[in-house]
Amino acid sequence: MATIRVLSLILSVLSGVTLLWTQSGECNNGRRSGDAVDTDFSGFSVPLEHSFEVDDVPRFRLRGALQFRGGRENGVYLSQNQLSEKERSTLKDVAAVDGLYRIRVPRVSLQVDRQTERQSEGYLTTFVRACSLVESHLSDFITLHTDVSGSIIGISIVTVPGSCRGIEVEDEVDLEVFNTTISVVAPVTAPPPETAPYIERMEQEMEKKGKNPQEQKSFFAKYWMYIVPLVLFLMMSGAQDQSGGGAGGGAANGGGR
């Protein structure tokens, strides 16, 4: 009984709080630029491109490759290159003029059975302020959003911390490698009206009422042991007054009413 209740409680909490369901978040950071990108995956890979220019005209270059493992568990793995000396200085310059750091991925479907039609034209782009990327020491969170059929519909990037305070950054140490957390988010299923647990709960309450004989009894059945003596006492006292007569009895009678 108790375990069922606890279970239903957990269930209700789970259904009530629809947390963002994120999938695995592996990443690879310290990869040398000379290393070849792994290709021996059963899944497929998608290029992740970025652009940061002082004149703010996007010119996308390869940042890394997103590796998707096939199967039901859509694991995602990002292998990315280091920033070169020149890129680091450009990024700092862009940050100084409050420019944008943009990334993009092509529109693909993550569903394996739809590999043939996987590639559709166009890209999904997003941006973050270059200064916040610099100040966070290239630690960013990239999230890929898919629709119900598994196609990527949007990409988002945030840095932690996300603010721009104008802190000076040592480029050699902090701007070499990305510290990226990547995840794929699929839509959550919105809860329908929960009739079944409600009815169950109602039934449980009814049952509990049924099991507890105290509650089922009527008022009189519950308290007869107090009522009967009281009534008897009143009757007795009334009878005594009747027999005794006199003014005191009358007063008692009045009080009894």
Please give the residue ranges that form the binding site for another protein (CB under 8 A): 8-9, 12, 16-20, 56, 98, 100, 102, 107, 120, 122-129, 132, 141, 143, 145, 147-149, 151, 153-154, 156, 158-164, 185-195, 197-198, 201, 205, 208-209
Q: Minimum distance between the CB of residue 239 and another protein, rounded to whole angstroms?
A: 41
Whether 145 and 153 have beta carbons less than 8 Å apart is answered as yes
In the complex with another protein, the residue whose CB is nearer, 12 or 29, is 12
Whether 46 and 108 have beta carbons less than 8 Å apart is answered as yes
* DSSP symbol at 136: T
Q: Minimum distance between the CB of residue 35 and another protein, rounded to whole angstroms?
A: 30
- Nearest 5°: the CA angle 83, 89, 93 is 125
Is 110 exposed, middle or buried (CB count within 10 Å of its CB: 0-12, 13-18, 19+)? buried
Q: Minimum distance between the CB of residue 67 and another protein, rounded to whole angstroms?
A: 22
In the complex with another protein, the residue whose CB is nearer, 53 or 241, is 53
Element (H, E) at 16: helix 2-16
Q: Minimum distance between the CB of residue 122 and another protein, rounded to whole angstroms?
A: 6
Q: Which amino acid is at 64?
A: G
Could you give the 3-state DSSP secondary structure of residue 5? helix
Could you give the 3-state DSSP secondary structure of residue 51? strand
Q: Taking the CA atoms of the chain, what radius of gyration do you get in angstroms?
A: 37
In the complex with another protein, the residue whose CB is nearer, 37 or 164, is 164
| SS (HEC) of 194-242 | CHHHHHHHHHHHHHHHHHCHHHHCCHHHHHHHHHHHHHHHHHHHHHHHH
In the complex with another protein, the residue whose CB is nearer, 128 or 182, is 128
Q: Minimum distance between the CB of residue 23 and another protein, rounded to whole angstroms?
A: 13
In sequence order, the 6+-apart residues with CB closer than 8 A to the CB of 111 are: 149, 150, 151
In the complex with another protein, the residue whose CB is nearer, 21 or 223, is 21
In the complex with another protein, the residue whose CB is nearer, 81 or 109, is 109
Q: Minimum distance between the CB of residue 43 and another protein, rounded to whole angstroms?
A: 21
Tokens of 123: 């890209």
